[in-house]
Amino acid sequence: MLPVCLRSEVEYGVGPNPDKRDAVIRAATYRRPEYDNAGISFSPSTLEAVRSSLRLQFPPVQQQRGSSFSMLESLPLELLCDVFTSLDIEAILNLRQVSHRLREAVGAVPAYEFATEHGLDAVLALFWSGLGPHFTLHDVNNALRTEYCAVPRCGRFGHFVFLPTLNRVCFECLGHERQFSLLLLSKADIAESHSSEKSEPVHVMHTLPGFYSERKRKYHKQRHHIVAELDSVKPRDPGRGHYGWPCSNRYLAAIALPFLECSGSQVRSHHTVFCKGCVFARDNKLGPTGRARWLHGRTKTLPLLVNRMYDHRTYFEHFKWCRQAQILWDSGKEIDSLSS
Ligand SMILES: [Zn+2]
Ligand SMILES: [Zn+2]
């Protein structure tokens, strides 16, 4: 609840127009890199280098007659696309290296195009962490199109995707829920029954070096083989203490991904955001009338508001009463009209 000194007198409705809602989000909110990069993250230069290599047309590799791929290559492009749609990520990325023909066929697979355009970091994270053989491009695309945390009754926006299962998860559940706990492979007991069709598949991943966590960011250099603690995976010798990893290490198996809202050919991406209006009020010690007020002394809720995370739905509940955010949006509109 907003304190009275920050609250607008009347409710400010934005309406359902998605373009207008996107414009409000751009004008009145911001993202925090430390939250976006709390899990596995790649530098923009790494992503750009990979993106250009995916676009690059290498000279064709000379195939020997009768090679194991020659029959595959002779299939019509449409048929190749159908076949490749069901392949795992590692297989499809490796196939691109075989020949021009197969590279062309892979590039024409809609799921490949969508995943590399909107979720390249997730594709790379799966490939480089050894999870590539366990997931398809469709799995990645489904995760990108999933909005909410997978924990029943949570209902929060899923900021992360948990790589060992590709489930969406919010900040809170990643830190607390048992289904996202991890074990070192060397300290885990994997039940024989895990390979049966009924049980959840157990995937081993190896961690990637980098900085993790949104607070107290720590560099993890060593690569570990880890598994998610599922029903069929238990700590070995639990009587001798806890062999699981600390909860803060769960970031090593998570990646922040936008939620993609798809309507026809239009794709809108939604992220976790913070309110610029509340930051403005804190930094300028301003109330809704613009008169200086020492808000820090008057309300303890402002620091909480500044650090509150929103998604593209919950933000509008806040925006309709956050006077400073409304002022930012209105002043942005004036600048737009002056420049046009
Ligand atoms: Zn949750
Ligand atoms: Zn606000």
Ligand 2 centroid–CA 263 distance in Å is: 29
**Nearest Cα to 3, choosing from 335, 333, 318?**
318
Gap between the Cα atoms of 298 and 258, Å rounded: 36
Residue 323 CA to ligand 1 center (angstroms) comes to 29
- Residues, CB-to-ion distance under 5 Å, ligand 1: 149, 151, 154, 156, 170, 173
Q: Residue 127: its pLDDT value, please?
A: 95
Tell me how many helices (H) and strands (E) the chain has: 16, 14
Three-state SS for 260? strand
Q: How far is the centre of ligand 2, averaged over its atoms, from the C-alpha of 2 (Å)?
A: 8
State which residues of the chain have pLDDT below 50. Answer: 241, 288, 290, 292, 294, 296-297
- The domain limits of the chain are 4-31+273-339, 35-266
Tokens of 209: 């070096």
How close is the Cα of 177 to the center of ligand 1, in Å? Answer: 8
Model pLDDT for residues 86-140, shown as the tens digit of each residue: 899 999 998 888 888 788 888 888 889 899 999 999 999 999 999 999 999 999 9
- Give the DSSP H/E element, type plus range, for residue 224: none
Q: Which two tokens stand for residue 23?
A: 């414009």
Nearest one of 195, 273, 210 to 28, comparing CA atoms: 273
What are the residues whose beta carbons fall under 8 Å from the beta carbon of 167, sequence distance 6 or more? 143, 150, 161, 179
Q: Ligand 2 centre from 321 Cα, in Å?
A: 8
CA atoms within 13 A on the CB side of 73: 20
pLDDT of residue 296: 47
Residue with tokens 């676009």: 55
